[in-house]
Structure 1
């Protein structure tokens, strides 16, 4: 019994594309090697130079003595390298008052910025995941508070704290720093997208209370937003100048911004000593903690910016 076998046709490597089929090779290549923009590169370079020149100036002039500050070019070294001697003089000048100012600033940042971040997380989560009467009115108030500059509220805040007898105390700086409308709005919008409502409903169906749901389920998902709000509030509190200026008159409670300004104004007072080299060195020491905080928290910040951007 014979069986007829039909000859097989050789397979062609070139397949006819189906209707609606689009080859992605060129688009994939463009994603892997994006087209470079000369204009964008030039603008980025200008912004980079604009941002780094003040920092370079600060580092270079921190290594100069008081005499060589005004007898040399500002963007190049001159004379003896006096950075370490300037640092020593800065931390020991006037019985080491710089260290006291540094601790005051840390206190204001930990209590003020930390408390503002915690309140923003609680308020933003509640506004994003709970429904209650007057929610739209709260939203309008928060947006209005974001639009109001802090300097516009400084004088009314001073009058209120003066009536309560809290001026010239750390509370006059810490309590106003606890209010961060922008941080509240940021956490509100972030929590709306970062926490699925179905996840909260599943936790409640399993018997988890609201506090357990927030601290064990929601809080880890809010990590990148918390870091972002913490950085903003920390920088704002660390560089705060106007509020301590009107609230404090005792130098022992000055933050670094107010203390360095007092040193800078010594040269214009009768019999005052010009210590511009210490002011510049103190300014350099002041920004080091901020740079360290950004570098340490950068990975937490960047990880949240791309979370959910790619669909598996």
Structure 2
């Protein structure tokens, strides 16, 4: 009589839960979302309601749309000018920095040349230097060239991204197989054509990751415009909203804290939208190279 083979059914593994990890995650979530909630709630208040109410709760008057309209109309549409200036700095500065970092990182990863180790050490050293430490030397250099108080004083420094260069260097090393490049060269494809037609699509996740970092850094740039610009017509949003906030401390200045808060809320909307739209590329870019075959 044939015997049936013994089948052992395994129970599905239980998901391990850590109370400490749950508490820490909750605290970090509250720490992250609480300022955003405060910003959204207070953007719905008038100037009087803002000063006479609890910061984390609404008042009887819902003034969000009035605040938005007043923000764009205040000082002859200064907010719109600052928004367009910020877009200019982001498109030209952050976009150019991402393209240069991608080209340089790809070249350093795929080509050998004398002094490559020295370049690597220079890039690592540049990543470790904070931007504020270079602000004063940069100002003195641009002042000597007569470029202060112009858009170039913001755009040109934004084109340099040591961290983006290092990230694209490490990402390009694994994302673009050497066999594909050798096949393209055998077929007679030039290096620039190979890069734009073959390599760049493979580098898209890393490219988008670096682009997001550069966009956030340029969009939130404050100290460099503060020392470089005197003409309010060239202010970015960060510096423009700062001047509105400081009005209350000047003699005869008008307090427009409700417009500052509303403008701050409008300022972060494009960044949030960019992260949500490009999230899948960003996540895949950060995970690249973490697993080797």
Q: Normalising TM by the smaller chain, what interval?
A: over 0.9
| Kept after mapping to 1: 8 A contact 2:171/2:289 | no
For 1:103 and 1:301, locate their aligned partners in 2 and report how far apart those are by CA, in whole Å.
26
Alpha-carbon offset, residue 100 of structure 1: 0.2
Q: Aligned match of 2:183 in 202, 205, 210? A: 202
1:36 aligns with 2:49: no
Secondary structure of the residue aligned to 1:86 is helix
Secondary structure of the residue aligned to 1:161 is helix
Alpha-carbon offset, residue 155 of structure 1: 0.6
Q: Aligned match of 1:239 in 193, 210, 220? A: 220
For 1:212 and 1:276, locate their aligned partners in 2 and report how far apart those are by CA, in whole Å.
53
Alpha-carbon offset, residue 303 of structure 1: 3.7
Per-residue CA deviations over 1:55-98 (Å, capped at 9, x if unaligned) read 00000000011111121110000130000000011000000110
Q: Which residue of 1 is the match for residue 101 of structure 2?
A: 120
1:269 aligns with 2:263: no
| Kept after mapping to 1: 8 A contact 2:208/2:285 | no
Alpha-carbon offset, residue 10 of structure 1: 2.0
- Superposed, which structure 2 residues align to 1:139-158 within 5 Å? 139-158=120-139
Q: Which residue of 1 is the match for residue 195 of structure 2?
A: 214
- Superposed, which structure 2 residues align to 1:1-312 within 5 Å? 10=2, 12-14=4-6, 29-30=12-13, 34-305=15-286
Query: TM-score, normalised to structure 1's length?
Result: 0.90
Q: Which moved more, 1:39-48 or 1:277-286?
A: 39-48
Secondary structure of the residue aligned to 1:274 is coil
Q: Which runs of 5+ in 1 are unaligned?
A: 1-8, 16-22
Q: Which runs of 5+ in 2 are unaligned?
A: none
For 2:123 and 2:182, locate their aligned partners in 1 and report how far apart those are by CA, in whole Å.
27
For 2:9 and 2:269, locate their aligned partners in 1 and report how far apart those are by CA, in whole Å.
48
Paired residues in the alignment total 293
Alpha-carbon offset, residue 13 of structure 1: 2.0
Change (3 A) 1:148 1:305: closer
For 2:290 and 2:124, locate their aligned partners in 1 and report how far apart those are by CA, in whole Å.
27
Query: TM-score, normalised to structure 2's length?
Result: 0.95
Structure 1 vs Structure 2 CA RMSD: 1.9
Change (3 A) 1:171 1:288: same
Alpha-carbon offset, residue 299 of structure 1: 2.0
Change (3 A) 1:306 1:150: closer
Alpha-carbon offset, residue 302 of structure 1: 2.6
Secondary structure of the residue aligned to 1:162 is helix
For 1:24 and 1:59, locate their aligned partners in 2 and report how far apart those are by CA, in whole Å.
53
